[in-house]
Amino acid sequence: MDLRSRPRRNRKNAAIRALVRETRLDPSHWIYPLFVHEESTDAPIASMPGCSRWSLAGLVDEVGRARDDGIGAVVLFPAIVDAKKSPEGVEAVNPDGLVPRAIAAIKKAYPEMQVVTDVALDPYSSDGHDGILAPDGRILNDPTVEVLCRQAVMQARAGADVIAPSDMMDGRVAAIRTALDAERFTEVSILAYTAKYASAFYGPFRGALDSAPKSGDKKTYQMDAANVREALREVEHDEAEGADMLMVKPAGAYLDVIAAVREHTALPIAAYQVSGEYLMLKAASEAGWLDERAVVLESLTAIHRAGADIILTYFARQAAQWLAT
């Protein structure tokens, strides 16, 4: 046996392993998802232990703590009261609504914090869909895009740094880019949810926002979990339409998609470690079956290793604190 080549020499101690490590975690590459509601107090989310629906004051405080942990970007998701929901999602374009007030509060307290905003109608829709629902059950693409453009401009006007359309309507990236530029928001970036799959991993998130569809499902606009070539087609569209960054969602069960997208574009790639992934790791760890720190850091490493430059994760603050110790 020829043992002149011994790969184990590069694994013999912690210092050598650190020298040759190919993938390194850094909180500056993470976006911290935060839920906000109209209430004056913060409310823990039962389906997502460790997460809360924040009041505006609580949101600002949590953003400050995230900044202190080395996180430079947050993404906002609003829990809208039923009385403000409608079939057309008109609250989505309200300049005095919850999201623009949250953006303004964060930017006033922490101007350097990058605020990413979700563009879609599902939090605001009485139907629970990302777009406008026709009487026959179809999601109306072009009328939805018109509303999304107004929503994006309103959020940019409130101070958003990055607009993140999560709706999966065709042509919305080009339309939003045109709308932003027409209003002189040329410096506002677009992080497109490019390959957003119709996944079963979103359940806890929909519970947190009460945004599940009231009828039907989202399979006519979100992607089929069986497809990867289709994701590359979406990449080509969003890149040509002016996206600055592209996202794959979910992350953990779609590492092959992240890798394929990474090979297909030079744009930065984001991946969203979604609520179902978060809950699985949390629940198993709280039950004593897994070492939470070890499995969370391993999962984040795997997502980065697959090709993601940016990770959206509810573990952002915890993981940053673990890396600092």
Residues acting as catalytic residues = 196, 249
CA distance 281 to 299: 9
- The rounded distance, in Å, linking the Cα atoms of 273 and 297 is 12
Position 295, amino acid: V
Nearest-angstrom CA–CA distance, 325 and 95 = 42
User: Burial level of 278, CB count in 10 A (0-12/13-18/19+)?
Assistant: buried
Query: Measured in whole angstroms, how far is the alpha carbon of residue 153 from the centre of its chain?
Result: 19
3-class DSSP state for residue 301? helix
Q: For residue 164, give the 3-state DSSP assignment.
A: strand
- Alpha carbon 277 to its chain centroid, in Å, reads 13
C-beta separation of 137 from 206 below 8 A: no
CB atoms within 10 A of CB 42: 17
* Distance between CA atoms of residues 203 and 199, nearest Å: 9
Token pair listed for 145? 């895009």
**Angle at 266 (CA atoms; ends 262, 268), nearest 5 degrees:** 75
d(CA 145, CA 315): 32
